[in-house]
């Protein structure tokens, strides 16, 4: 029903069936020659594992991406050849921890992995000190582990102490009651994280905590998309949405495979480097997050560029990043990564010479991407950006002008 009434730009086929049924996967097109891969996003590790095993046995050449609910589940999926396992709780926890030691790097992650046309995230710096963490399930465990590595102390509140194996000293309760938050000394902490699997409880925790201490930094876990309006109205400082995080991660893997390599390398840089990147990206985007894309210097992806290189002509990065209508203007694009013969180069300069086989990652405005694609596919355009000569197209006009 959602596919039928959804306002989608393209018709999306759907099959109402059990994805763990082998025949259902085949009927959906698993073995069709145009099938590009399989994505398992059910909220059951058992179901996702079944989907991964079936896909790898029947179509081993296809990439398989599955969401996992635990490290053990992820390891089990990987043992069967699953190409990518996505744990939204681990992804969020690691990025949230990053906010404490490198807010600019967190902003880089947010911008690079944002969905198309998403509002541009702003710089946030959560306060250091002691935090209250409500809920010690999978989400709470991941968050506590990662922020502890940054020196952030937590006071735990959990309703099911035995079931979650909460550590000694954990306060028993849901956190929705003022008494429980006061017992956790809410008036003297830096922030509160509401991480239960119940959206109503999470909002109640945060609103009650704010009433008791208006200066708190509030982090809330939003489990369901239908809760978006009330979470937005509550004006929470940082909202974690598992579905959005998984979607962003998978889209990045599909649309810009080099993005994972870039983020891995970027995480090894210092805050000064992150500030430089943020300033460069901010200079080319407007109010929405930048688009990211890959480019291979190859006969298929960039034929005009590759032909020039075959003829021994020099092609520099600036030649493909210039406006094909006015080469004196650089398009609103930031080169993020250059991979060549196993060597990775972050933020390559515009005077960098290109070679056949190079792999490049860019970010920028969507219209700039379209202009770049025109340049790398059109021999006249790359000739102009390279030489400054607007050579006429067509044999007759080139004969007339002697070009």
Q: Which of 309, 229, 251 is nearest to 112 (CA)?
A: 251
Percent of the chain with pLDDT over 90: 73
Per-residue pLDDT band at 400 (split at 50, 70, 90):
very low
Q: So what's the pLDDT on residue 89?
A: 93
How distant, in Å, are the alpha carbons of 99, 107, 277, 364, 382 from that of 104? 8, 5, 9, 18, 35
Q: So what's the pLDDT on residue 2?
A: 67
Mean pLDDT lowest for which of 41-45, 136-140, 185-189, 378-382? Answer: 41-45
Q: So what's the pLDDT on residue 348?
A: 96
- Tell me how far apart the alpha carbons of residues 288 and 177 are, in angstroms, rounded to a whole number: 39
Query: Burial letters for 346-362: b for 16+ Cβ neighbours within 10 Å, e otherwise?
Result: bbbeeebebeeebbbbb
Please check the confidence at residue 394 and state whether its pLDDT lies above 70. no
* pLDDT tens profile 14-35: 888 999 999 999 999 999 999 9
- Tell me how far apart the alpha carbons of residues 170 and 180 are, in angstroms, rounded to a whole number: 11
Name, of 126-140, 238-252, 256-270, the range with top average pLDDT: 126-140
Please check the confidence at residue 401 and state whether its pLDDT lies above 50. no
Q: Which of 257, 278, 252, 235 is nearest to 105 (CA)?
A: 278
Q: So what's the pLDDT on residue 399?
A: 46
- Tell me how far apart the alpha carbons of residues 252 and 113 are, in angstroms, rounded to a whole number: 6
Asked if 180 and 174 touch (Cβ cutoff 8 Å), the reply is: yes
Q: So what's the pLDDT on residue 252?
A: 86
Can you read off the two tokens belonging to residue 60? 């081993």
Mean pLDDT across the stretch 55-63? 94
* pLDDT tens profile 211-220: 999 999 999 9
Mean pLDDT across the stretch 383-395? 78
Percent of the chain with pLDDT over 70: 95
Helix (H) or strand (E) holding 7: none
Q: So what's the pLDDT on residue 297?
A: 96
Q: Which of 93, 190, 99 is nearest to 146 (CA)?
A: 93
Q: So what's the pLDDT on residue 5?
A: 67
The per-residue DSSP string of 138-202 comes to HHHHHHHHHHHTTT-EEEEEES-HHHHTPPTTPEES-S-SHHHHHHTTGGG-SEEEE--S-HHHH
Question: What structural domains and CATH numbers belong to the chain?
Answer: 2-86 (3.40.50.720), 89-253 (3.40.50.720), 290-396 (3.30.70.1450)
Asked if 358 and 297 touch (Cβ cutoff 8 Å), the reply is: yes
Query: DSSP secondary-structure letter at 316?
Result: B
Mean pLDDT across the stretch 367-382? 95
Can you read off the two tokens belonging to residue 177? 């009651």
Query: Helix (H, G, I), strand (E, B), or coil: what is residue 222?
Result: coil
Q: 103-113 and 88-101 helices cross at what angle (nearest 10)?
A: 140
Can you read off the two tokens belonging to residue 52? 């991964």
- Tell me how far apart the alpha carbons of residues 276 and 327 are, in angstroms, rounded to a whole number: 25
Q: So what's the pLDDT on residue 43?
A: 82
- Tell me how far apart the alpha carbons of residues 181 and 209 are, in angstroms, rounded to a whole number: 7
38 vs 118, more confident: 38
Query: In the chain, what's the furthest Cα-to-Cα distance?
Result: 88
324 vs 114, more confident: 324
Asked if 67 and 48 touch (Cβ cutoff 8 Å), the reply is: yes
Q: Which of 285, 270, 274, 334 is nearest to 105 (CA)?
A: 274
Mean pLDDT across the stretch 169-176? 95
Per-residue pLDDT band at 275 (split at 50, 70, 90):
very high
Please check the confidence at residue 191 and state whether its pLDDT lies above 80. yes
- On the CB side of 376, CA atoms within 13 Å amount to 24
Query: DSSP secondary-structure letter at 226?
Result: G
- Tell me how far apart the alpha carbons of residues 48 and 76 are, in angstroms, rounded to a whole number: 11
Please check the confidence at residue 377 and state whether its pLDDT lies above 60. yes
Give the E-state strand segments of 227-364 in sequence order.
238-240, 291-296, 322-323, 326-330, 333-340, 343-346, 359-364
Q: So what's the pLDDT on residue 166?
A: 94
Helix (H) or strand (E) holding 318: helix 317-321
pTM: 0.84
Q: Is 401 exposed, middle or buried (0-12, 13-18, 19+ CB in 10 A)?
A: exposed
Mean per-residue pLDDT of the chain: 91
């Amino acid at each position: 029903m959602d596919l039928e009434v959804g306002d989608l730009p393209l018709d999306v086929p759907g099959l109402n069936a059990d994805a763990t049924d082998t025949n259902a996967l085949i009927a959906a097109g698993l073995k069709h020659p145009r099938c590009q891969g399989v994505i398992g996003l059910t909220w059951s590790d058992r179901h996702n594992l079944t989907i991964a095993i079936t896909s790898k046995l029947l179509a081993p050449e296809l990439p398989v991406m599955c969401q996992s609910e635990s490290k053990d589940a992820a390891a089990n999926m990987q043992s069967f050849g699953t190409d990518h396992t996505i744990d939204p709780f681990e992804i969020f926890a690691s990025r949230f921890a990053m906010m404490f030691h490198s807010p600019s790097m967190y902003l880089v992650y947010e911008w690079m992995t944002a969905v198309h046309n998403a509002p541009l995230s702003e710089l946030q710096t959560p306060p250091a000190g002691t935090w209250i963490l409500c809920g010690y399930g999978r989400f709470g465990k991941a968050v506590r582990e990662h922020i502890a590595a940054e020196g952030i102390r937590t006071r735990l509140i959990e309703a099911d102490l035995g079931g979650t194996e909460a550590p000694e000293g954990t306060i028993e309760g849901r956190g929705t009651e003022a008494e429980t938050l006061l017992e956790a000394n809410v008036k003297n902490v830096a922030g509160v994280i509401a991480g239960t699997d119940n959206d109503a409880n999470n909002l109640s925790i945060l609103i009650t905590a704010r009433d008791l201490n208006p200066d708190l930094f509030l982090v809330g876990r939003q489990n369901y998309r239908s809760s978006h309006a009330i979470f937005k109205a509550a004006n929470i400082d940082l909202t974690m949405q598992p579905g959005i995080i998984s979607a962003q991660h998978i889209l990045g893997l599909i649309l810009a495979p080099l993005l994972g390599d870039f983020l891995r390398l970027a995480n090894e840089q210092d805050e000064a480097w992150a500030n430089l990147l943020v300033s460069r990206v901010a200079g080319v985007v407007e109010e929405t997050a930048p688009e990211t894309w890959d480019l291979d210097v190859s006969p298929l992806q960039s034929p005009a560029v590759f032909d020039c290189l075959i003829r021994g002509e020099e092609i520099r990065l600036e030649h493909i990043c210039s406006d094909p209508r006015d080469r004196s203007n650089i398009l609103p694009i930031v080169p993020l990564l250059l991979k060549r013969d196993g060597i990775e180069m972050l933020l390559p300069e515009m005077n960098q010479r290109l070679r056949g086989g190079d792999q490049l990652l860019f970010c920028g405005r969507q219209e700039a991407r379209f202009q770049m694609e025109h340049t790398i596919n059109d021999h006249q355009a790359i000739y102009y950006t390279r030489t400054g000569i607007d050579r006429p197209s067509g044999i007759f006009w080139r004969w007339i002008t002697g070009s």
